[in-house]
């Protein structure tokens, strides 16, 4: 199986980017297919806007608070549009809009701290912080609004301006968000660009950009880092994951089954830090498989705009083909689908929630990132074996340990090679925490004060002590 992600961009219609509804597979709207050459003027304008924006922190705080209010007020327009192009249930889109506003509010209140350096020398030195300049943000299609906000809220709060490029699969809600924000922000502080490749590649390597902050797959992350090397722009990469959940032998299976299921299947499994593999003790393995499969069979799959829908479609056709490929290969290699295992026979990009058992441990559905509504459940004999298997991929985003003794679970969590480990839940993040995958899952740190300072450079002033007042 090919390890690189199939990257078929959406087509164009009338020279514009056609946007498909994943619940039908049909185009329902379009967006500008901007040419890479347009970036020169836009980055120049972002640079010009930077001078005013960086100079007045109090005005920035006021503008970002107003931006948060504006996003909330536009929720009734943003959420259905997000569901239409992305596929997720409407309630999840509303939650994503709320998280977008929350990010603006959180970062609006952060300010860099000045710190004196006291090293005994007769010099009074102080560390201060300066913004970098125009920042490029490139984001994927799974959480278009909140991932964009995770980039623009800290970057703008720190005094930078930004050119933001959403995925060509989900340009519309981001464009609407851009126009909502433009009511609260000075002109050219945040510019949204939409189009197909090589728009992102050109943005990442643009000489006027001082920081490239990217969320997406590992192969694209490598290309972005290589592109940014040309201008020596700072790079932050939030990349793929293949999170393991280890169930301990004292786990209460009926109690955790539903929570574990949604830790894997929320947003149709299209979450970088979703549970992608479950390791269960041999004694409990079939009970875990059956509990998850039984729950999977009750889940209502349908269009995100239908009120009863719990699980929407996969976002796009290449991603659906990828999920199907991984599943078919596992089944051909001897796995069994305890639930699902196939596309749904209806229009749109629907795949049945799938629980796999008897999966050969080296199967790509276990070792790679399938990023869809599929969950392999693997048995283990010893805890050492489980931890070794959990750590055996190139990814290191998150992981979790589940059991009735949280201290014991936490001791096992300490052994996981990842950036965030959870006990008895998975994928919950605080706005105030650092978010940083290790190994192939990331470069740099996002989130909390760490993400804020990632948009600043230290600036040090030295002066002899006798010059001080």
Site for ligand NAD in 363-382 (CB under 6 A): 369, 371
Say whether residue 259 binds ligand NAD (CB under 6 A).
no
Instruction: Figure out which of the listed residues 162, 239, 320, 427 binds ligand NAD, where binding follows CB under 6 A.
Output: 239
Start-to-end CA distance of the chain, whole Å, equals 69
Distance in Å, CB of 469 to ligand NAD, minimum: 47
Distance, in Å, from the CA atom of 93 to the CA atom of 90, rounded to the nearest integer, reads 5
Shorter beta-carbon distance to ligand NAD: residue 27 or 201: 201
Say whether residue 10 binds ligand NAD (CB under 6 A).
no
Contacts of 56 (CB under 8 A, 6+ apart): none
- 3-state class (DSSP) for residue 135: strand
Distance, in Å, from the CA atom of 286 to the CA atom of 384, rounded to the nearest integer, reads 20
Q: Which stretch binds ligand NAD (CB under 6 A): 129-137, 164-172, 346-354, 384-392?
A: 164-172
Say whether residue 138 binds ligand NAD (CB under 6 A).
yes
Nearest to 377 by CA among 293, 295, 464: 293
Catalytic residue among 238, 324, 368, 369: 238
Shorter beta-carbon distance to ligand NAD: residue 319 or 357: 319
Shorter beta-carbon distance to ligand NAD: residue 199 or 338: 199
What distance separates the 2 farthest-apart alpha carbons in the chain? 80
Distance, in Å, from the CA atom of 216 to the CA atom of 236, rounded to the nearest integer, reads 11
Q: Residue 411: phi, psi to the nearest 5?
A: -65, -35
Distance in Å, CB of 3 to ligand NAD, minimum: 12
Instruction: Figure out which of the listed residues 30, 85, 96, 238 binds ligand NAD, where binding follows CB under 6 A.
Output: 238
Q: In the stretch 63-82, what mask flags binding to ligand NAD with x, by CB under 6 A?
A: --------------------
Distance in Å, CB of 104 to ligand NAD, minimum: 18
- 3-state class (DSSP) for residue 431: coil
Distance in Å, CB of 105 to ligand NAD, minimum: 20
Q: Distances from the Cα of 255 to the Cαs of 25, 208, 339, 425, in angstroms?
A: 37, 53, 20, 12
**Residue that has been written with the tokens 């379009």 in this structure:** 30
- Residue number with the smallest Cβ distance to ligand NAD: 200
Shorter beta-carbon distance to ligand NAD: residue 373 or 403: 373
Shorter beta-carbon distance to ligand NAD: residue 152 or 295: 152
Site for ligand NAD in 194-233 (CB under 6 A): 197, 200-201, 204, 215-217, 220, 223-224
Pairing relationship of beta strands 26-32 and 16-21 according to DSSP bridges: antiparallel
Check residue 120 and report its DSSP letter: S
Shorter beta-carbon distance to ligand NAD: residue 201 or 321: 201
Shorter beta-carbon distance to ligand NAD: residue 63 or 228: 228
Instruction: Figure out which of the listed residues 22, 89, 240, 302 binds ligand NAD, where binding follows CB under 6 A.
Output: 240
Q: In the stretch 338-357, what mask flags binding to ligand NAD with x, by CB under 6 A?
A: --------------------
Say whether residue 437 binds ligand NAD (CB under 6 A).
yes
Say whether residue 146 binds ligand NAD (CB under 6 A).
no
Say whether residue 398 binds ligand NAD (CB under 6 A).
no
**Residue that has been written with the tokens 């952060």 in this structure:** 110
- Give yes or no for a contact between 353 and 373, defined as CB atoms under 8 angstroms apart: yes
Distance, in Å, from the CA atom of 165 to the CA atom of 150, rounded to the nearest integer, reads 13
Shorter beta-carbon distance to ligand NAD: residue 66 or 429: 429
> For this structure, is 238 an active site residue?
yes
Distance, in Å, from the CA atom of 75 to the CA atom of 77, rounded to the nearest integer, reads 5
Query: How many degrees, rounded to 5, is the angle at CA 331 between CA 326 and CA 332?
Result: 95
Q: By CB under 6 A, how many residues form the interface with ligand NAD?
A: 31
For 123-150, letters b (16+ CB in 10 Å) and e give ebeeeebebbbbbbbbbbbbbbbbbbbb
Distance of CA 228 to the CA centre of its chain: 20
Shorter beta-carbon distance to ligand NAD: residue 220 or 357: 220
Nearest to 244 by CA among 339, 378, 345: 378
Distance in Å, CB of 436 to ligand NAD, minimum: 9
- Residue 210, both tokens: 């001082």
Say whether residue 152 binds ligand NAD (CB under 6 A).
no
Check residue 202 and report its DSSP letter: H
- Residue 407, both tokens: 């201290």
Distance, in Å, from the CA atom of 359 to the CA atom of 49, rounded to the nearest integer, reads 55
Check residue 343 and report its DSSP letter: B
Distance in Å, CB of 388 to ligand NAD, minimum: 23
Q: In the stretch 300-339, what mask flags binding to ligand NAD with x, by CB under 6 A?
A: ----------------------------------------
Distance in Å, CB of 142 to ligand NAD, minimum: 5
Helices (H) and strands (E) in the chain, counts: 15, 19
Binding site for ligand NAD (CB under 6 A): 5, 7, 138-142, 147, 165, 167-168, 197, 200-201, 204, 215-217, 220, 223-224, 238-241, 272, 369, 371, 397, 437, 442
Active-site positions read: 238
């Amino acid at each position: 199986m090919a390890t690189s992600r199939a990257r078929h961009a959406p087509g164009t219609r009338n020279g514009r980017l056609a946007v498909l509804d994943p619940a039908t597979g049909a185009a329902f709207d379009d967006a500008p297919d901007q040419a890479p050459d347009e970036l020169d003027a836009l980055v120049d304008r972002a640079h010009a806007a930077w001078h005013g924006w960086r100079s007045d922190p109090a005005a920035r705080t006021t503008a970002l608070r107003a931006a948060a209010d504006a996003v909330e007020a536009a929720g009734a327009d943003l959420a259905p549009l997000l569901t239409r192009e992305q596929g997720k249930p409407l309630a999840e889109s509303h939650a994503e809009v709320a998280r977008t506003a929350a990010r603006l509010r959180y970062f609006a209140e952060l300010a860099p701290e000045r710190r004196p350096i006291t090293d005994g020398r007769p010099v009074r030195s102080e560390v201060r912080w300066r913004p970098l300049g125009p920042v490029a943000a490139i984001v994927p299609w799974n959480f278009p609004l909140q991932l964009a906000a995770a980039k623009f809220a800290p970057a703008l709060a720190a005094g930078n301006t930004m050119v933001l490029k959403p995925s060509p699969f989900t340009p519309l809600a981001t464009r609407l968000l851009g126009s909502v924000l433009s009511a609260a922000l000075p002109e050219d502080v945040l510019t949204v660009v939409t189009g197909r490749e090589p728009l992102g590649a050109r943005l990442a390597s643009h000489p006027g950009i001082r920081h490239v902050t990217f969320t997406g797959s590992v192969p694209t992350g490598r290309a972005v880092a290589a592109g940014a090397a040309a201008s020596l722009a700072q790079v932050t990469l939030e990349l793929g994951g293949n999170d393991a959940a280890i169930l301990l032998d004292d786990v209460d299976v009926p109690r955790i089954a539903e929570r574990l299921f949604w830790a894997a299947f929320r947003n149709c499994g299209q979450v970088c830090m979703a549970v992608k593999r479950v390791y269960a003790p041999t004694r409990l393995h079939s009970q875990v498989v059956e509990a998850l499969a039984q729950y999977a069979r009750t889940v209502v799959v349908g269009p995100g705009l239908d009120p009863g829908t719990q699980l929407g479609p996969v976002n796009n056709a290449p991603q659906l083909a990828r999920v199907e490929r991984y599943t078919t290969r596992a089944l051909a290699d001897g796995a069994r689908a305890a639930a699902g295992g196939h596309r749904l026979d209806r229009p749109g990009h629907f795949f049945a929630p799938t629980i796999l058992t008897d999966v050969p441990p080296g199967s790509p559905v276990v070792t790679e990132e399938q990023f869809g509504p599929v969950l392999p459940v693997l048995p283990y004999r010893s805890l050492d074996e489980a931890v070794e298997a959990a750590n055996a991929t190139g990814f290191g985003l998150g992981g979790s340990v589940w059991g009735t003794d949280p201290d014991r679970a936490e001791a096992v969590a300490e052994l996981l090679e990842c950036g965030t480990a959870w006990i008895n839940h998975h994928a919950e993040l605080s706005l105030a925490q650092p978010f940083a995958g290790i190994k192939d899952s990331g470069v740099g740190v996002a989130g909390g004060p760490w993400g804020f300072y990632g948009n600043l450079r230290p600036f040090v002033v030295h002066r002899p002590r006798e010059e001080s007042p």
